[in-house]
């Protein structure tokens, strides 16, 4: 599985996530579901989860692209801001481009909150997970070069 993830071109999963998000945001009835009553503001939870997932995918691919090096906080924040702004623009597109969808301010808030939560997860836990998962597959090394050189110094 690791080799498949590494072999995919950078941006492939991000493109799929973006296209899926645009489709769900602009299609009249994307999942072909009749009105289902779940709980009040269930759609806000869906918006949160969609942008949480999308931002997580974007940051995962960025981390995969940067291996074996560490990621940059400023780039991660730019990616997160892109996802949040995309959510706001898709809400505006619902207002202007479709007759079947409605613009809601709380959807914009849920989109931005989901993107920020995805950033927080990836920044404080996910990047470590990505490095542990894919580092040895990408570098084909057993140990990081820095640690290897420190071992040689200690052995002398």
DSSP annotation string for 92-126: HHHHHH-SS----HHHHHHHHHHHHHHHHHIIIII
Cα dihedral sign, 35-36-38-44: negative
In contact, 88 and 112? CB cutoff 8 Å: yes
- Distance between CA atoms of residues 53 and 78, nearest Å: 16
9: in domain: no
Number of domains in the chain: 1
Backbone angles phi, psi at 147, to 5 degrees: -70, -35
The pLDDT of residue 48 is above 90: yes
- Which is nearest to 15 in space by CA: 67, 81, 61? 61
Q: Given this model, what pLDDT does residue 115 score?
A: 97
34: in domain: no
The single-letter DSSP state of residue 10 is: T
Neighbours of 82 (CB within 10 A): 15
3: in domain: no
Residues 6+ apart with CB under 8 A from 135: 67, 68, 144
31: in domain: no
8: in domain: no
106: in domain: yes
4: in domain: no
Average pLDDT over residues 140-152: 55
Q: Which domain range does residue 59 map to? A: 14-24+40-148
155: in domain: no
- Side-chain-side CA neighbours of 57 within 13 Å: the count stands at 19
Per-residue pLDDT tens over the stretch 80-135: 999 999 999 999 998 898 888 888 899 999 999 999 999 999 998 888 777 777 77
- Of 69-73, 77-81, 143-147, minimum mean pLDDT range: 143-147
User: For all residues of the chain together, what is the average pLDDT?
Assistant: 83
């Amino acid at each position: 599985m690791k080799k498949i993830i590494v072999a995919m071109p950078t941006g492939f999963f991000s493109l799929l996530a973006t296209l899926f998000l645009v489709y769900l945001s602009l299609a009249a009835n994307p999942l072909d579901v009749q009105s289902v009553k779940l709980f009040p503001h269930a759609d806000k939870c869906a918006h949160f989860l969609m942008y949480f997932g999308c931002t997580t995918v974007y940051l995962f691919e960025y981390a995969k692209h940067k291996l074996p090096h560490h990621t940059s906080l400023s780039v991660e924040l730019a990616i997160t801001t892109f996802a949040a702004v995309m959510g706001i623009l898709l809400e505006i597109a619902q207002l202007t481009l479709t007759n079947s969808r409605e613009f809601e301010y709380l959807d914009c808030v849920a989109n931005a909150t989901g993107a920020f939560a995805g950033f927080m997860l990836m920044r404080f836990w996910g990047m470590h997970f990505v490095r542990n998962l894919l580092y040895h597959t990408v570098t084909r090394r057993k140990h990081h070069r820095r640690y290897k050189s420190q071992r040689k110094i200690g052995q002398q």
